[in-house]
Structure 1
Amino acid sequence: MTRLSVNVNKIAVLRNSRGADEPDICAAAAACIAAGAAGITVHPRPDQRHIRAHDVRALKASIGNRVEYNIEGNAFAAARGSYPGFLSLVAETRPTQCTLVPDNDAQITSDHGFDLRVDAPRLRPLIAELKQCGARVSLFIDADAAQIERAADAGADRVEIYTGPYAAAFARGDFRRELEQCVRAAETARAAGLGVNAGHDLSQANLDSLMAAIPFLAEVSIGHALIGEALYAGLDATVRAYLRILSRQAA
């Protein structure tokens, strides 16, 4: 069955808005795990707008090896203030997976994948370094089949297909073209020997159609919608609702 990794960044946004310790990120992650989530995802940024370096460390200690731990971020991000740099944070915390994303401070959220025609030569040695830390490496990629083989050549183990355009089209009611692009990208990745993850703006509304089209997804990483839905239904019920969608496609 496709794994659900819950991104807990939004818990940190709420906590940071008060400048104290509540809500507790480790407690939120524990609730997700208790409900059946197979992984926890964090995306620490150098500006520390949500998840901070000490959260990454605390979650590693809290999670242990119970579920997969996925750290997203820009592999080129250097140390800044109390942010130790992406590579150093990974070397310290030894996550199961690193998902490399071409983000910067000006982006509200990740809104595009790597252009591997440009980025692959710089990424290749960093991917090798991350693998030496024991991490599986996934590259955040637009649903563009032309980019996929470059991901394999760069040494990645997986790609995470950026599903933002698909989700936006689903909300408009005309998503077939974007879904077909995701399918082509996923099939190209599988043919190249890459595992296939998906993430960004996935929700209970649009996940079923994506899973029906790409039932071999290894993992979906979901944060914003899941945490928003949990405001009404609670974390336990919301995580279980996502797992029911994933299990339907596995049946």
Structure 2
Amino acid sequence: MTKLSVNINKIATLRNARGGNVPDVCKVAQDCERFGAEGITVHPRPDERHIRYADVYALRPLVATEFNIEGYPSESFIDLVCSVKPEQVTLVPDPPEAITSNAGWDTVKNKDFLKQVVNKFHEYGIRVSIFVDTDLKNMEHARLCGTDRVELYTEPYATMYPADREKAVAPFVEAAKLAKELGLGLNAGHDLSLENLAYLHTHIPWLDEVSIGHALIADALYLGLENTIKQYKKQLI
């Protein structure tokens, strides 16, 4: 069964826009779990423009499912993750000024660095996932880095889906098959939505987890959070 991990960054963005603690990031995370989410994802950035480091510490004792912290493995990020000890850390190649994740790792070029970081997190018993595109060389070298999983960067799929969904999904299926052959766990995320999620899952049913934030939170404005989470879970059956 593919798990749904809800990225709550946009909840923090809304809170920070006004100050105070409305909406309450911790309460929303617990509500997401209560409504059926099997994981909570956060992506703290150096400028703390949405999720703050303090949020990550506050969430750790409250998250009862799988806690996934994603981000660029800077020294401060590594220290945070090792201190919090989530079930999973997802390594993304975002520069500090990036608005959102917009590329997978070049695991060939960054193999030595990533291997060192993966080993560090493994010392703390943390499962590691590396954010990658569908380039098969990057998939192969991700395994050489010692990662447990890879997360497919699905924005290209989502962008092409409305025009040609068969063409959109094809490279992701190929990459997913290679990940399976290499013995890697498989996650997916970025721009997945109620429109395109079921089709991706139908073609890659062995996905371990999808991480969804922006579209899910936007849908919740119209459908309500509980109903939205249920609707997303239906796409993964």
Q: Distance in 1 between matches of 2:143 and 2:158?
A: 26
**2:86 match:** 95
Residue 242 in structure 1 maps to residue 206 in structure 2: no
**2:188 match:** 198
Contact 2:108 2:137 in 1 (8 A): no
Q: Distance in 2 between matches of 1:206 and 1:35?
A: 22
1:57-206 to 2 correspondence within 5 Å?
57-63=57-63, 66-75=64-73, 77-78=74-75, 85-171=76-162, 173-206=163-196
Structure 1 residue 191: Cα displacement: 0.3
1:93-121 alpha-carbon deviations (Å, 9 max, x no partner): 10000000000123211000000111111
- What secondary structure does 1:17 align onto? helix
**2:51 match:** 51
Gaps of 5+ in 1: 79-84
Please report the RMSD computed on the Cα atoms of aligned residues, expressed in angstroms.
0.9
**2:5 match:** 5
Structure 1 residue 129: Cα displacement: 0.6
Gaps of 5+ in 2: none
**1:41 match:** 41
Residue 208 in structure 1 maps to residue 198 in structure 2: yes
Q: Share of identical aligned residues, percent?
A: 49
TM-score (norm 1): 0.92
Q: Distance in 2 between matches of 1:150 and 1:240?
A: 36
Q: Distance in 2 between matches of 1:175 and 1:112?
A: 20
Instruction: Give runs of ≥4 in structure 1 deviating > 6 Å.
Output: none
Contact 1:90 1:133 in 2 (8 A): no
- What secondary structure does 2:62 align onto? helix
- What secondary structure does 1:127 align onto? helix
- What secondary structure does 2:18 align onto? coil
Q: Distance in 1 between matches of 2:45 and 2:27?
A: 21
Structure 1 residue 192: Cα displacement: 0.4
- What secondary structure does 2:61 align onto? helix
Contact 1:166 1:178 in 2 (8 A): yes
Q: Distance in 2 between matches of 1:140 and 1:151?
A: 9
